[in-house]
Amino acid sequence: MAARLVKQSIVTDLDSPRVYPLRLYGDPVLRRKARTLHHTDLLTVPGFDPQTVRQVADTMLETMFEARGVGLAAPQIGLPVRMFVAVEYEDDEEENEGGDDRLRSRVLRDYVMLNPVLKVINKKKDRSYQEGCLSIPGIYEEGVPRARAVQVSYTDLDGVPRTVEADDYLARVFQHEADHLDGVMFLDRLPAEVTEDYRKELLAIQQKSRALLSDLAAHEQRRRAERS
């Protein structure tokens, strides 16, 4: 999920990555239902060497901070598994103030959730927050209906089952990221005319998405050639 003044995209040197490139609107992986995973799995983010779940989660958090977001789901880095990361800041309305170091210093708690299952504990819908997405840069809308409070059951990085309850903004973040694991994006939860209003912007994002996929394919081809 995107904070209000999120950077437009992350440009990554694929030969020496510090963060993952973000998959953008139009990428087929964002519409796939993600598979379950185990905390001991080895994961391969497309274009990168196999990593442990913990290593992937650490880089996802770094990617999220770099993009000045509040959450990031595995499909958004091209990995169709049921995992997302998220953070709770001291002040939900000020994620974008200050530099990266200050941003990290204001984190109350970070979350890495494997195979999360959400249960609504307050069915009353909240439409008051503005919502955006790191995979749809530059587009923000109010009115996305989200349950006011949820309970999330998940597995942590050590394989321990855990449960957490969240309300208001954090509940929205969890619901947004869980949607990604089922191929749902926040614009899908708004009237169709909202997406139509952003038709020009979305077409431009899709063009960037195709360019990124082309770059990733070329990078992978080079990697394979070097190994042979």
List, for residues 104-140, the tens digit of each pLDDT value.
778 889 999 999 999 999 999 999 999 999 999 999 9
Instruction: Taking residues 14-42, report their average pLDDT.
Output: 91
Instruction: Taking residues 3-27, report their average pLDDT.
Output: 72
Q: How many CB atoms lie within 10 A of CB 212?
A: 22
28-227 classified as CATH 3.90.45.10: yes
The more confidently predicted of residues 4 and 181 is 181
Q: What would the pLDDT profile of 176-211 be if each residue is shown by its tens digit?
A: 999 999 999 999 999 999 999 999 999 999 999 999
From the candidates 141, 177, 201, 220, which is the catalytic residue? Answer: 177
The answer to whether 111 and 177 have CB atoms below 8 angstroms apart is no
Separation CA 51–CA 37 (nearest Å): 13
Give me the residue spans of the domains in the chain: 28-227
**pLDDT > 60? residue 73:** yes
Instruction: Taking residues 64-88, report their average pLDDT.
Output: 96
The answer to whether 73 and 80 have CB atoms below 8 angstroms apart is no
Q: How many CB atoms lie within 10 A of CB 109?
A: 10
CA 171 remoteness from chain centre: 15
**pLDDT > 70? residue 101:** no
pTM greater than the 0.85 cutoff = yes
Is residue 177 annotated as part of the catalytic site, yes or no? Answer: yes
Instruction: Taking residues 170-179, report their average pLDDT.
Output: 98
Separation CA 97–CA 99 (nearest Å): 7
